[in-house]
Amino acid sequence: MSTKERKPGDSRPGSPGPSRPVVVSGRGEFTVKVFADVPPEHDIELRSGSLATPEDVRASTQGADAVVVDYEFLSADHIAAMSDSVKIIGYSGTGLDVVDLEAARARNIAVLYLPGFATEEVAEHTVALMLAGVRRLRRADQVARTGWGEWRSAGPLRTLNGATVGLIGLGRIGSGVLRRVRAFGAEVVAYDPDATELPEGCRRAGSLDELLRAADVISLQVPLTEQTRGLLGEREFQLMKPDSLLVNASRGGVIDERALVDALERGDISGACLDVVEQEPLDPAAPITRAPNTLLTPHVAWYSPAAERRSRDHTLNGVAAFVRGEPVRFGVLA
């Protein structure tokens, strides 16, 4: 689907919206916790309502000007059930995979998202995963707890210094990762067909295959779209070096997880450090939890107290401004 980004302040034709918009927040873990105590300067009426089913959406959105969500997926059926009063959906994150954009467009409901609100957090977490992987910190911790005599069993321990780091995607986060790994002395190769120019200190891979063959550490910084879903699968893992490390703090669906588990078990690659998985929250019995040489974090790369506040404030300010017909700072899709 093609979408266009609305210019700041774009709204529906007609009279200005209400001075104190009614905003319905879903009952996801993030929205319940963070939107529970909204500062008065937001000047909105915030209501909590279930968005679990289309029937819940229909009941919760009566008279609402906006809906805000975190990871509660809004399908076409959910959006079709929204009250005619709803003008915008605010997603308190960077991706666009939690809202059916085609359905929103058909209802003339705008979608707000927050590109860049946690760039530094995600870039730092990505490099932390790289360091944990190349230094095998999970295994080293286990060895330390059971007696230091077998310390060599934690290895081989490597460094980012002198390694070739392959970045798939070179937007805000990818560029942040680039700056950090260069400081460690890594060589960087990047694959991003949309990047017209690459930052200094980075060479372009002519294809994804070229990057996969060249890199010692491979990191994904791409959104989840129909084009990127399953971007790395069995074929791609077989192209990678046997001692390579895979890092992903973008979206779990860009990796074929079953193929990754198989690749780790066969030794096609040496390890994987993941902040995201295909199905979240992660089932403790999922095969990836038992795969060798893995380190998992629970989709926290974005998090810091400051990022959490930014997410709340930018989401609420953005949807309220849109409803009032005022300029909107972050991305709004028609």
Using an 8 Å Cβ cutoff, are 120 and 204 in contact? no
**Residues 6 or more apart from 236 whose CB is under 8 A from it?**
208, 209, 212
233 CB-side CA count, 13 A: 7
Q: Is 280 a catalytic residue?
A: yes
Using an 8 Å Cβ cutoff, are 310 and 5 in contact? no
Q: Is 55 a catalytic residue?
A: no
**Residues 6 or more apart from 41 whose CB is under 8 A from it?**
none
Using an 8 Å Cβ cutoff, are 276 and 299 in contact? yes
* Nearest CA among 57, 31, 29, 56 for reference residue 46: 31
Compute φ and ψ for 76, nearest 5 degrees. Answer: -60, -40
Tokens of 141: 């911790």
Q: Which residue has the tokens 């029937």?
A: 55
**Among the options 280, 290, 309, 329, which is catalytic?**
280
Using an 8 Å Cβ cutoff, are 105 and 320 in contact? no
* Nearest CA among 41, 48, 44, 45 for reference residue 69: 48
246 bridge partner residues: 218, 272
**Among the options 6, 42, 180, 299, which is catalytic?**
299
Q: What is the distance between the alpha carbons of residues 56 and 285, in angstroms, rounded to a whole number?
A: 31
**Among the options 6, 105, 180, 251, which is catalytic?**
251
The helices-and-strands tally (H runs, E runs) of the chain is 11, 13
Active-site positions read 251, 280, 299
